[in-house]
Amino acid sequence: MMAADTTANSIDGGVGLLDRERIIAKPGFNRWLVPPAALAIHLCIGMAYGFSVFWLPLSRQLGGKASIACPDGAGVFNALFTTSCDWKISELGWMYTLFFVFLGSAAALWGGWLERAGPRKAGVVAAVCWCGGLLISAVGIYTHQLWLMWLGSGVIGGIGLGLGYISPVSTLIKWFPDRRGMATGMAIMGFGGGAMIGAPLANFLMNAFRMPDSNGVWQTFVAMAVIYFMFMLGGAFGYRVPPAGWQPEGWVPPEQSRRAMITQHNVHLRDAHKTRQFWLIWLVLMLNVSAGIGVIGMASPMLQEIFGGSLIGHPELKFSELNAEQRSMIAAIAAGFTGLLSLFNIGGRFFWASLSDKIGRKLTYYAFFALGIALYALVPWSAHVGSKALFVLFFGIILSMYGGGFATVPAYLADIFGTQFVGAIHGRLLTAWSTAGIVGPVVVNYIREAQLNAGVPREQVYDFTMYILAGMLVVGFLCNFLVGPLAAHWFMKTEEVASLQARSQVAVSVTPGSMGIGRWQLNATSVLAWLAVGIPIAWGAWVTLKSAFVLFN
């Protein structure tokens, strides 16, 4: 026993503050402290969804109340460096593309490094990139250099998004082998909720910093960088990893069977992408996300163009017949609709991922696709009969499954490929998200334009789009059907897994079992950790519900 203690102490003294060996949990650690640590990071980086709150004030950065238009024929190069005319919203909107392209790329490139370095180091790097990107963007706004914004928040911030997004996945799955879906659902719920908190916070800060000669945007970027950096560091330093061989007290791993599709073995990162199952799940995620993300991007104009004057008590007026004041009124209502969809997106991440623990991951994705096909096909009918309630309900459920797909897929991967490299494998799978970020909006936007050019009335231009999205989900259903257990030759040998886990075993000198780790403890630390993330979530939900209430008022 004394020798073991000496070994552990010598290793602790030889590792850095951020190293994986430093954060191996000791006896008495409460595993329920890990989800709020993950939420602290995801709630911050999830503000990527809420960046549209900056577009309008940034499009008037020089002009103040009205934009200063650039000369006719000025191209993208001029927009990147000009200091004499304002940016267009379409130019600012490229930030979204950069966010999700670099999120997927960073997760795929550095997922393997994360597994070796551990979640604390990855969380700190994510905080430096995301918040450092915000500071670079603040300089870009102050000097009116769009290229600095693209580089700062888009590229560097996008890398922070990727690392921050996958930082807790492997850790949570290892801490909650009995509740994989629920654990990842709690964390990834935070990414969906980031805009729900960040957008109203940004509005508050811009109003607070606004002065006669400034709209307060660059100051808001600096303030949010500082706030987010503190929260993200708190989350990163809250991470702990379980020692090798740990499992919850009293938990018995499920027996491996073809029906359950939960393996007790592990696939190496170098082999995962060589399997048919990886690419089938890649397609499953890409098709589910493509359908949902296309709707998210067009939710506001869709509601306005379909229901027109009926949103303000004038059902006889179509969208094209509304005056400027009436269009402003229905735009406010559509903003409430968008906020309501964000709540469904957030809630779906926790609900569907938790449900997958009961019914299995494959059956959960069957539900996404079967229910989604029916709902996309029914949306045009709800619009034609003029039922706002059904229209909102259908899209609410669709968005809950969009979020649920993100939250369920890490557990799906752990079931198929094991837990040893699940974070890195998940990182590579997120290239499906980057692809969907292009496919979904392109399908929705270009079909809409084609329908309008063909003379289709605005209130009917989305009918064909819904049927196309339903067709994409049919393909996703078939891909999910083809996912099956891996052949035995893909799994790592027991000795190879043991060698990879050796550092953890030596550092803590454990034998498999609970060791008192992971038990729920209601103490000051756990209460403060959950309040730190729970209060912002409750505030964001309240603000969102207030804005959504106008939809039915």
Both structure tokens of 107: 């997760």
Provide the residue count of the chain.
Answer: 553
Q: What is the pLDDT of residues 287-326, one digit of tens each?
A: 999 988 877 766 777 788 888 888 888 888 887 788 878 8
Q: What is the pLDDT of residue 366?
A: 97
Q: What is the DSSP string of 454-482?
A: TT--GGGTTHHHHHHHHHHHHHHHHHHHH
359-389 b/e with 16+ CB inside 10 Å = b? Answer: ebbbebbbebbeebbebbbebbebbeeeebe
pLDDT at 330: 81
Q: How far is C-alpha 41 from the chain's CA centre?
A: 11
- Nearest C-alpha neighbor of 352 from the set 404, 416, 426: 404
pLDDT reported for residue 4: 38
pLDDT given for residue 181 in this prediction: 92
Phi and psi for 252 in degrees, rounded to 5? -110, 120
Q: According to the model, what pLDDT value does residue 514 have?
A: 53
Q: Whole-angstrom Cα distance, residue 414 to residue 89?
A: 41
User: What per-residue confidence (pLDDT) applies to 518?
Assistant: 63
Q: pTM for this one?
A: 0.85
For residue 77, the surrounding DSSP H or E stretch is helix 76-81
DSSP H or E run through 80 = helix 76-81
Neighbours of 502 (CB within 10 A): 11
Give average pLDDT by consecutive 10-residue segment, the chain, 553 residues. 38 69 88 94 92 85 79 77 84 84 92 92 97 97 94 95 93 90 89 88 90 89 97 96 84 62 89 96 95 76 81 81 80 76 90 94 96 93 87 91 94 93 93 86 78 79 86 96 93 85 52 57 86 94 81 64
Nearest to 374, CA basis, from 482, 478, 481, 477:
477
Q: What is the DSSP string of 370-422?
A: HHHHHHHHHHHHHHHTT-HHHHHHHHHHHHHHHHHHHHHHHHHHHHHH-STTH
Q: Which amino acid is at 87?
A: W
Give the chain's domains with CATH numbers. 30-247+525-553 (1.20.1250.20), 269-491 (1.20.1250.20)
Angle at 234 between CA 228 and CA 240, to 5 degrees: 135
- pLDDT tens-place string over residues 356-393: 999 999 999 999 999 999 999 998 898 888 888 898 89
pLDDT value at residue 548: 75
Instruction: Name, in order, each residue with C-beta under 8 angstroms of 527's C-beta and a sequence gap of 6 or more.
Output: none
pLDDT reported for residue 257: 47
The answer to whether 511 touches 352, Cβ cutoff 8 Å, is no
